[in-house]
């Protein structure tokens, strides 16, 4: 029973948040790249990629040294998704890779595997980042938080 009806229900449980944050951490332990997940209820744009592009800039993700940050954007209620890869990684993998990852995420979401779907996509992104931006124990540092960012 919810005694505080004005309090929003969280989309992910604490365990699911941990699954996603752990996937981000695991992916980043293999690469100098950075991955972030941004979740909000509604996309204020018709095109989720426009929103992802805006958030990428607002979050200053372009400031990673190798320009190899990736933002996974999800608008839950509007059922919109986008993956925005900075120029360093986008030049290596191209648009077809991002589109394939979005299709895989949609398939997982259709089965209501939200946290697991995000985890798998994050790990896929980590693998491709590893190929092009391998982890260097001497120079690599975690440039961005691994926690999910929640919008409105």
Residue 142, strand partner residues: none
Average pLDDT, the chain: 87
Q: Is residue 9 part of a domain?
A: no
| Domain carrying residue 32 | 14-150
Q: Is residue 128 part of a domain?
A: yes
Q: Is residue 141 part of a domain?
A: yes
39 falls in which pLDDT band (50, 70, 90)? very high
Q: Is residue 37 part of a domain?
A: yes
| C-alpha dist (Å) from residue 62 to 23, 54, 94, 112 | 21, 11, 17, 32
Biggest alpha carbon–alpha carbon distance for the chain: 51
CATH number for the domain harbouring residue 18:
3.10.310.50
Q: d(Cα 122, Cα 110) in Å, to the nearest integer?
A: 18
Residue 74, strand partner residues: 39, 81
Q: Is residue 82 part of a domain?
A: yes
Q: d(Cα 68, Cα 148) in Å, to the nearest integer?
A: 18
Share of residues in the chain with pLDDT > 90 (%): 59
Question: Domain tally for the chain?
Answer: 1
Q: Is residue 61 part of a domain?
A: yes
pLDDT in tens, 46-82: 799 999 999 999 999 999 888 999 999 999 888 899 9
Enter the pTM of the model: 0.88
pLDDT in tens, 6-31: 445 578 889 999 999 999 999 998 89
Q: Is the backbone of residue 67 left (phi > 0), alpha (psi -120 to 50) or beta?
A: left
2 falls in which pLDDT band (50, 70, 90)? very low
Whether residue 114 has pLDDT greater than 60: yes
Q: Is residue 1 part of a domain?
A: no
Q: Is residue 2 part of a domain?
A: no
């Amino acid at each position: 029973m919810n005694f505080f009806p004005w309090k929003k229900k969280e989309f992910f449980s604490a365990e699911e948040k941990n699954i996603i944050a752990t996937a981000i951490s695991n992916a980043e332990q293999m690469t100098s790249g950075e991955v972030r997940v941004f979740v909000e209820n509604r996309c204020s744009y018709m095109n989720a990629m426009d929103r992802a592009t805006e958030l990428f800039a607002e979050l200053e993700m372009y400031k990673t040294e190798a320009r190899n940050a990736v933002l996974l954007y999800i608008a839950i209620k509007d059922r919109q998704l986008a993956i925005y890869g900075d120029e360093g990684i986008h030049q290596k993998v191209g648009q077809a890779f991002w589109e394939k990852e979005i299709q895989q995420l949609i398939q997982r979401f259709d089965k209501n595997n939200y946290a697991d779907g995000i985890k798998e996509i994050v790990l896929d992104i980590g693998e491709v980042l590893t190929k092009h931006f391998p982890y260097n124990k001497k120079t690599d540092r975690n440039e961005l938080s691994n926690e999910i960012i929640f919008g409105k």
